[in-house]
Structure 1
Amino acid sequence: MLYRAAFLLCLSLTGWSARAQSVLDPALLERVRQLAETAARATAPPETRVAVEIGALDARLRLAPCRQVQPYLPTGMSAWGRSRIGLRCTDGVARWNVTLPVRVSVFGRVVVAATPLPAGVNLSQEHLAMADIDIAAEPGAVFTDASALLGRTLGRPLAAADAVRAPALKSRQWFAAGETVQVRAAGSGFAIVAEAQALGPGLEGQDVKVRFESGRVASGRAVGERRVELLL
């Protein structure tokens, strides 16, 4: 009995449940970095640079010894910005599953505000500049061509050197209610084009109802000047 008690005490003192950081050997950290970088590059624009900063596991965790730790990207977890990489023990005394914080930066040359810009300004060339920034630092699509932004209206103010992102722009109205629009209906292996009357304003990227000459009403997406796309 005394021997058994001494043995159990020895296990507790030597860390039968190891501190969390002890599982993060250099080889595993490199696999985590490669996984995060690969996931980020899958959706990153061409000619961008990806950098991965790996955080630390919760110091309060006690993990059983593991001979094989598998890193993975949890379902629904973002591959950009502040995220987490899963670590699961697949061969050890006990199976465990934890997540490791990471920060993934994606550096690219994009359109930014040349000066502080107020909400409501109609963008012109003098308002815009190009700069290398971390496009993963905030949500929202960025632009690599300033000409695509000319004439667009800001929906919120931007500080100098802020990226001009899609959420900062007011939605364009492609047509008004009552206007005749061209509807492109597409399905598996076919596409047809017909005219219809818009039953509401066509706001960029939003659904709108249209009425065909036959009287049939359908809902499609406003995609351009007097153009609606209907997916069947």
Structure 2
Amino acid sequence: MSAQVQQIAQAGARAGMPAQARVDVQVGRLDPRLKLAPCQQVQAYLPPGLPMWGRTRIGIRCLDGTVRWNVSLPVTVKVYARALVAADALPAGAVLTQALLGSAEIDIAAEAGAVFSDATSLVGRTLLRPLAAGEAVRSNSLKVRQWFAAGDTVMVRAVGSGFAVAREGQAMTAGLEGQSVKVRFENGRIISGRVVGERHVEMLL
């Protein structure tokens, strides 16, 4: 059963990990207070919607027994890959430069937030919180960028199945990276879209 759990956790982790990363799965123990009935066929499975990163769990169920039970087995999935880290201790509010960044192999699944491998995507960004030397620069440790102000003219790109249409409009609120914003077109129509770049909004159809 341990091998089956390892295989499922490894497969689940690989679904979202970068190339050349390595996975280490540590299998925990079931709650000793559980009294499970004997079972002829036990199956390990990946609970739907549950990411196989960090502290998580694998489902274990009985398929052939007098009592069909279903329990959770704790696992810790570590995903080691090279990522950008703080070269030295950095305070909140620091503006990142190439000299302030280093590269190291870390457990990218240890904390929430995406990591970065390309320094050009971080140079000029501002830290939301302090980082210790060697700590990964994650997406949630950066201040959200404002791509435009309320009243600015923005380009709205409507994306559908097999087509994309672009049209100008006026932002009704400030455009913060990755967040929703309302845009008014010249004919008075108001739509909601997602801020994707400097004066650019994407609307999914």
Same fold per TM (> 0.5)? yes
**Structure 1: which 5+ runs fail to align?**
1-27
| 1:140 aligned partner | 113
Structure 2 matches for 1:59-138, cutoff 5 A?
59-138=32-111
> Could you tell me which residue of structure 2 aligns to residue 158 of structure 1?
131
Aligned partner (choices 10, 19, 41) of residue 46 of structure 1: 19
Tell me, in whole angstroms, the C-alpha distance in 1 between the residues paired with 2:188 and 2:141.
Answer: 38
Q: 2:31 & 2:201 partners in 1: Cα distance?
A: 51
Report how many residues are paired. Answer: 205
Cα deviation digits, residues 163-198 of structure 1 (max 9, x gap): 100011011111111111111112223221111111
Note the C-alpha offset of 1:216.
1.1
Amino acid at match of 1:221: R
Instruction: Name the TM-score, length of structure 2 as normaliser.
Output: 0.97
Work out the CA distance in 2 between the residues paired with 1:149 and 1:230: 26
CA deviation profile, 1:130-180 (whole Å, cap 9, x unmatched)? 000000000110001112100000111111111100011011111111111
Any idea what SS the aligned residue of 1:143 has?
coil
Name the counterpart of 1:228.
Answer: 201
Contact residue 12 and residue 51 of structure 2 kept, 8 A = no
Separation of aligned partners in 1, 2:164 and 2:99: 42
CA distance in 2, matches of 1:207, 1:98: 39
Residue 185 of structure 2 aligns with an amino acid whose one-letter code is F
RMSD over aligned Cα atoms: 1.0
CA distance in 2, matches of 1:63, 1:207: 48
Q: Tell me, what secondary structure is at the counterpart of 2:127?
A: coil
Where 2:159 maps in the other structure, the secondary structure is: strand
**What residue ranges of structure 2 are gaps of 5+ in the alignment?**
none
Please give the alpha-carbon distance, in whole angstroms, between the structure 1 residues aligned to 2:191 and 2:139.
Answer: 28
Q: Which residue of 2 aligns with 1:29?
A: 2
Structure 1 consecutive aligned stretches of length 4 or more whose deviation exceeds 6 Å = none
Shift of 1:220: 1.0
Query: Partner letter of residue 197 of structure 2?
Result: G
Distance in 2, matches of 1:196 and 1:76, equals 37
Q: Which residue of structure 2 aligns with residue 194 of structure 1?
A: 167
Higher relative contact order (CA closer than 8 Å, sequence separation 6+): 2
Identity over the aligned pairs, expressed in percent? 62
The structure with more helix, counted as a fraction of residues: 1
Letter in structure 2 aligned against 1:113: A
3-state SS in 1 of match to 2:40? strand
CA shift for structure 1 position 77: 2.3
Displacement of 1:217: 1.2
Q: Does the aligned pair in 1 maintain the 2:179–2:194 contact within 8 Å?
A: yes
1:133 counterpart letter in structure 2: I
By how many angstroms is 1:94 displaced? 1.8
Specify the SS of the correspondent of 1:102.
Answer: strand
